[in-house]
Structure 1
Amino acid sequence: MSENPLFRGLNRPGSLNPEDMNDLEKKHTPVITAPDKVSRGERFEVVVETGVYMRHPNEYGHHFSWIELYLDDVPVGRVYLQPVIAAPRAVFRLNAAEDYVGKRKLVARAFCNLHGTWVSEKSIDIE
């Protein structure tokens, strides 16, 4: 029996438009909610959740184990999730540091115990 290469490495949806995603992508792609623009030194919130486009199971046999966030390549944090108890959602509070002024990228990763790690990105301007 061969292993499915889809679930190794980082998985990304074939399209950013939910209408063009297949059911697997809709269930697993992390969705980032954050402002498009913040001022340097400003505190802001980033919410990452899965199952937004189509509900994902949250049971012992099939669930998200963690969600993590990066600003460019710098890790911001990781939230561990428990099946059944915790919704696949994480809230991160950031401070737009002066060294990060300019066009930046928020990168979210979410790990499904059956279907691997899924990634999405959102641009943010720090002025």
Structure 2
Amino acid sequence: MGRLGDLIYTKEKEEKVLGEKHTPFIDAPDKVGPEETFEVTVVVGKEVPHPNTIEHHIKWIQVYAREDDRPFNPIHVATFDLGPAYGEPSVKFKMKLKKSSTLHVIEYCNLHGLWEASKRIEVG
């Protein structure tokens, strides 16, 4: 029996075109102040557009924060449910952090499974 983590793909582990279509791109500042509200944009298929049809689409995007020195991680930040055909796999939201953290974004493609990307954000 495998672990769920074994089923999560990354751009580094998969073929180039498949990875470019599926790996979430995270646009957020590298550094913010404590409790400062900042904007995060997540796009799936930034380099190569991902299809958005009933047969092949991004179903959801989830965002987690792994906070430094926190005994239990990750912190669930947001979940975005996406429908096929009309929407695009791109979301924008605001958040804040108390401590330096790594954002982890996981998305689900109905044909190609779970894909992950991460971004470090320093607080100080």
Q: TM-score, normalised by structure 2?
A: 0.84
Separation in 2, partners of 1:45, 1:36: 12
Separation in 2, partners of 1:94, 1:67: 16
Which of the residues 99, 105, 108 maps onto 1:108? 105
Separation in 2, partners of 1:96, 1:76: 10
Separation in 1, partners of 2:19, 2:97: 31
Separation in 2, partners of 1:46, 1:86: 18
Q: Render the CA deviation track for 1:71-121: whole Å, top value 9, x for unaligned.
A: 111110100001111110112211223xxx23x101111100000010000
What stretches of structure 2 of length at least 5 have no aligned partner? 1-5, 67-73
Separation in 2, partners of 1:41, 1:76: 14
Share of identical aligned residues, percent? 35
Separation in 2, partners of 1:30, 1:53: 10
Separation in 1, partners of 2:12, 2:34: 33
Compute the RMSD of aligned alpha carbons: 1.6
Separation in 1, partners of 2:42, 2:78: 11
One-letter code aligned to 2:78: G
State yes or no: 1:122 paired with 2:103: no
State the secondary structure of the residue aligned to 1:46. strand
Which of the residues 12, 37, 45 maps onto 2:10? 12
Which of the residues 16, 21, 39 maps onto 1:45? 39
Equivalent runs, 1:65-80 vs 2, <5 Å: 65-72=59-66, 73-80=74-81
